[in-house]
Each structure stands twice: as C-alpha cells, then as structure tokens.
C-alpha cells in the first residue's frame, strides 16, 4: 500500500534553499528546474519545497523527522561542514529511545534526525 513519503516544506528563496540543502547537507537536486518548486534527494530521503515569499520564519512550523542508521557519523559530518545545530537540538539520547539532533534550515523548517537505541 503506502511506500514512501516526500514532505513539502515552504521556502522563501529557491537559490538559498538549494544552496543550503545541496552544498551544506549533501542532497542532490531531483526532477526538472521549476521557478517555484524544488525537489531534493539524499539516499532514500526526498524533500520537496514550494515557494512562499511571504513566509514569516517566526511563524513557520514546518518539520520533518528523518531516520538514520548512523546518527553519530551524520552529526559529525554536519559539524565538519559547519552546519549550525539547533540550540536545543544537540545530539543526545532521548527518554523515548531515540538518539537525536535537530537543525533549522534558512526558512526555519525544523529537521530532526533520529536513530533508535
């Protein structure tokens, strides 16, 4: 029945979003080139973005939870690439049995990465 999910998040500026996800997080662009839409992919994760120029980042509640099978290596690779980790989202083992960390993209979409412990 259900096989995959591709969350859609808002972006204010496609070039800024593209640079962040491709050059900082290691994603690749998918599909064609569209003025108001962006599709990116890394491993089995695909995220879509739609243009929302009037987005108030203080009121953006876009969020995705991404599972990984090597949270420590992923975390270190982002630190090595100088990606800012959310101030309250440092890598830690949570009471619900997940080792997690989080970051905010340029539009304040929250990306949480987790691995079962």
Within the chain, what is the greatest distance between any pair of CA atoms?
Answer: 43
Exposed / middle / buried, residue 68 (Cβ in 10 Å: 0-12, 13-18, 19+)? middle
Nearest partner of 18 among 102, 84, 105, 78, judged by Cα: 105
49 pairs with which residues across the strands? 9, 38
112: pLDDT strictly greater than 90: yes
Share of the chain above pLDDT 90, in %: 95
32: pLDDT strictly greater than 90: no
Q: What is the pTM of this model?
A: 0.93
* Average confidence (pLDDT) over 30-38: 93
The string of pLDDT tens digits covering residues 58-95 is 999 999 999 999 999 999 999 999 999 999 999 999 99
Backbone conformation region of residue 96, classed left if phi is above 0, alpha if psi is from -120 to 50, else beta: alpha
Read off the pLDDT band of 13 (50, 70, 90).
Answer: very high
Spacing of C-alpha 111 from chain mean position: 4
Predicted pLDDT of residue 41: 97
């Amino acid at each position: 029945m259900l096989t995959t999910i591709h969350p859609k998040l808002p972006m204010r500026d496609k070039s800024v979003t593209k640079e962040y996800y491709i050059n900082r997080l290691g994603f690749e662009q998918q599909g064609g080139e569209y003025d108001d839409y962006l599709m990116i992919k890394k491993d089995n994760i695909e995220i879509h973005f739609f243009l929302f120029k009037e987005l108030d980042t203080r009121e953006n509640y876009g969020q995705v939870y991404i599972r990984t099978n090597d949270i420590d290596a992923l975390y270190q690779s982002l630190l090595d690439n100088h990606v800012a980790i959310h101030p309250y989202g440092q890598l830690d083992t949570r009471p619900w049995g997940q080792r997690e960390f989080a970051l905010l993209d340029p539009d304040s979409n929250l990306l949480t990465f987790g691995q079962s412990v």
